[in-house]
Amino acid sequence: MADEKIPLKDVRNIGIIAHIDAGKTTTTERVLYYTGVIHKLGNIDDGNTAMDWMPQEQERGITITAASTTCFWKKHRINIIDTPGHVDFTVEVERSLKVLDGATVVLCGCSGVQPQTETVWRQADRYGVPRIFFINKIDRLGANFDRVIGEIHERLGANAAGICFPNAYEDQFSAIIDVVHEKYITFPETDGLDPLVSDIPAEFQDKFKEYRHKLLERLADADDMIMERFLEEKEVTIPELKAAIRRAVLKMAFFPVLVGTALRNKGVQTVLDAVLDYLPSPLDVPPVPGTDPNTSEHTTRPCDPNAPFCGLVFKIAADPYVGKLFYTRVYSGTLPSGSTVQNTSRRVKERVSKIVLMHANRQEIIGSVSAGEIVALVGLKDSKSGDTVCDEKAPIVLESMKIPEAVVSMAIEPKTKADQDKLGMTLHKFLDEDPSLKVKYDTETGQTIISGMGELHLEIIIDRMKRENNLECTVGRPQVAYRETITKKVQNVVGKFISQSGGRGMYGHCVIDVEPNEEKGKGIIFVNKIKGGAIPREFIKPVEEGVRTAAQTGVFAGYPVSDFTVTLVDGSYHDVDSNELAFQLAGKEAMREGLKKGGSCLLEPIMDLECTVPEDFWGQVIGDLNTRRAKIVSSGNRGKLKTVRCEVPLAEMFNYAGALRTLSQGRASFSMEPSFYAQVPNNVAEKIKGVREEAGSKK
């Protein structure tokens, strides 16, 4: 079937996204089983699933890297990306959603909408990805279908309604009532291969009418035709209802909700049917926007196999046998194997030696790829994640991805001198694969500092170094990635660099205004307001480089400075002595002076933490959170458990898992993700500054 050319209208590029432990990988495993890709069901607990193929994934029972695969269902081709749920690997979700047309959001029937669900929901909103919901684990103790739909409305603000509902909860669950097709679906076989479809029994008729009314009511808000029928109380036929749901899903005005239990093999086929019926094909997605690199004008490229070729490299993975695999979403045109393409992001030509279809870590070589497909290209040399590859006769640069800020750093040193070069090569490979990993060399301590999204992220990197590259490292304690910023506006800060030591001199002079950004997270904004050629154009860029260099080391405690705007307002130059280096040093001098006068302060990453706690241990857990500078945002109940949501500094949360286990006899759970940066209280900031100064004096 892989060799058959499936029409574009019958192709679906979807992602499975969710909070950690909601059951994404198990759901994907069942999809592969029912579509005939695999013939034996894998299990997370046994470490034998097809999609979690890395040793680290199998040992920990979590997804670390997004895995892609292709399957076929009812003469449709479905390209699936199973994404991680753990916040430390959020960049995998980010880059997957960038290239997908639709997504299935998996929710746990007990835990409902959790913090990471909200994060992936916002990511999907940002990329305009239509979604359907699958409420999984409905057979677990404490599961409740209606409560989870309520949380979807409250927490996500989504217009959602059940297009099916369960006959019962917990261990009584055995069948699904399909509200759209008006059918009763049971699963007599343990592997769920042949579901039985029959008419809805009399005892469920009232409940069916209630759910159908809710569905039409919600859908009426999103579709005019349904609104008309609903107000006139006219009957809606099944084809009309399906068409209306599809229209509403495509414009992200409505989100259908399905139910089941992937682990017990119930309800996955209805999810597959919903993917075909309601999620978009590549033809339903608007033409991909981009920029013409020659004219800088905005342009678009339609999803057409006959249009000029264009694709986005969204992920790079190393393979021990073929080298680097460049995962690419093809948006337009056709690319045969052996072709040469233009990388417009880096302005280099690349040769595609081989094209492969991925099945997790297995590859299937194909002769060509066309619009709407997701494949891996082999043979590229200089391309990176987020780069555009296209036909050199029709250049376009597609919008790249948003990479989150690193929040945790760690010092690493190879155990032997011989491993020093090996460390550099290994880290270079990981940097290619993972854009959220940052590496810098501390010249004062001689250590390599790696920064990432969390403790687990860095732990996995260290583990992979040892297993894949036989590289042993000495590892320092995790450190918080603090930042600095300024608190007040400073005007007319002068930066001068004048040197006259015989022969030709150096002259650079600039005047800048420095002010804090109102909107946080924008980094450093440089504005040029030079008039009348006070500084020649060729020296403006060096001034900006000097400013950015100075901002890498703050004046408060030596941390990088961010979230401010620098406006270049004046300056002067010398016809003979001025050069780029002089203006770079002048910019650096002005910036350091601006930081001193701008009231520099320390910022720390604040985490969004949610704890689920049995009532018996509520007091101890809240008391402990108060000692960690936590600010409680909300609390509530989830069945017999109490929940608390708070904002807490990352610095206070290292090794929290062990502390919470001790406080609650192992019965409480938590999830945590980076939320924003906030100013560190003065007493804590002075302590951090003292530690930095002490470490500096020891060097």
In tens, the pLDDT along 411-437 reads 888 887 777 778 888 888 888 778 888
pLDDT band, very low/low/confident/very high, at 623 (cuts 50, 70, 90):
very high
pLDDT score for 459: 83
Confidence band for 614, pLDDT divided at 50, 70 and 90 = confident
pLDDT at 133 over 90: yes
Task: Kindly tell me if the per-residue pLDDT of 694 is higher than 80.
Answer: no
The model carries a pTM of 0.74
Query: What pLDDT does residue 199 have?
Result: 94
pLDDT band for position 481 (50/70/90)? confident
pLDDT of residue 53: 43
Burial 610-640 (b: 16+ CB within 10 A, else e): bbbbeeebbeebbebbeeebbeeeeeeeeee
pLDDT confidence tier of residue 629, bands split at 50, 70 and 90: very high
The pLDDT of residue 191 is: 81
Q: For residue 239, what are the contacts with CB-CB under 8 A and spacing of at least 6?
A: none
Residue 617 has pLDDT above 80, yes or no: yes
The closest alpha carbon to 265, from 179, 178, 194, 169, belongs to 194
100-120 mean pLDDT: 88
Is residue 559 pLDDT above 80, yes or no? yes
Q: Is the pLDDT of residue 342 over 80?
A: yes
Confidence of residue 131 (pLDDT cuts 50, 70, 90): very high
Task: Please report the pLDDT score of residue 3 as a whole number.
Answer: 45
For residue 147, the surrounding DSSP H or E stretch is: helix 145-156
CA distances from 514 to 213, 456, 545, 553, 562 (A): 59, 37, 15, 16, 12
Nearest partner of 212 among 257, 182, 169, judged by Cα: 182
C-alpha span between 83 and 34 (Å, rounded): 20
pLDDT of 457 higher than 60: yes
Residue 654 predicted with pLDDT over 90: no
What's the chain's Rg over C-alpha atoms? 28
pLDDT surpasses 90 at 23: no
Is residue 661 over pLDDT 80? yes
CA dist., res. 114 & res. 543, Å (int): 46
User: 512, 495 in Cβ contact below 8 A?
Assistant: yes
Structural contact between residues 303 and 285, judged by C-beta atoms closer than 8 angstroms: yes
CA distance 272 to 109: 19
Round to whole Å and give the CA distance between 435 and 452. 10
H or E segment and range at residue 319? strand 310-319
Beta strands in 444-529 (DSSP E): 447-452, 473-475, 479-480, 483-485, 490-499, 506-516, 524-528
Task: Reduce the DSSP state of residue 145 to 3 states and report it.
Answer: helix
| Residue 464 pLDDT grade (very low, low, confident, very high; cuts 50, 70, 90) | confident
Whether 281 shows a pLDDT value over 90: the answer reads: yes
| CA atoms of 61 and 45, how far apart (whole Å) | 6
Q: Which pLDDT value is given to residue 400? A: 76
What is the chain's mean pLDDT, rounded? 85
Q: Which of 87-96, 134-143, 544-553, 619-628 is least confident? A: 87-96
Rounded to whole angstroms, the Cα distance separating 428 from 451 reads 14
Confidence class for position 44, pLDDT limits 50, 70, 90: low
Q: Pick the closest to residue 369 from 311, 290, 419, 293 (CA basis).
A: 311
Percent of the residues in the chain that have a pLDDT greater than 90, as a whole number: 40
CB atoms within 10 A of CB 233: 6
Q: Which of 370, 289, 396 minimizes the C-alpha distance to 77?
A: 370
The helix (H) or strand (E) run that includes residue 676 is strand 669-679
| pLDDT of 590 strictly over 80 | yes
Residue 403: per-residue pLDDT = 75
C-alpha to C-alpha distance for 87 and 672, rounded to whole angstroms = 7
| pLDDT grade for 67, boundaries at 50, 70 and 90 | low
pLDDT attached to residue 333 = 93
Higher pLDDT, 159 or 434: 159
pLDDT > 90? residue 202: yes
| Rounded Cα–Cα distance for residues 327 and 356 (Å) | 9
Residue % of the chain over a pLDDT of 70: 92
Q: What is the pLDDT of residue 698?
A: 56
Q: Per-residue confidence at 1, pLDDT binned at 50, 70, 90?
A: very low
Q: Which of 213-222, 274-283, 398-407, 439-448 has the lowest mean pLDDT?
A: 439-448
Alpha-carbon gap, residue 24 to 21, rounded angstroms: 8
pLDDT confidence tier of residue 327, bands split at 50, 70 and 90: confident
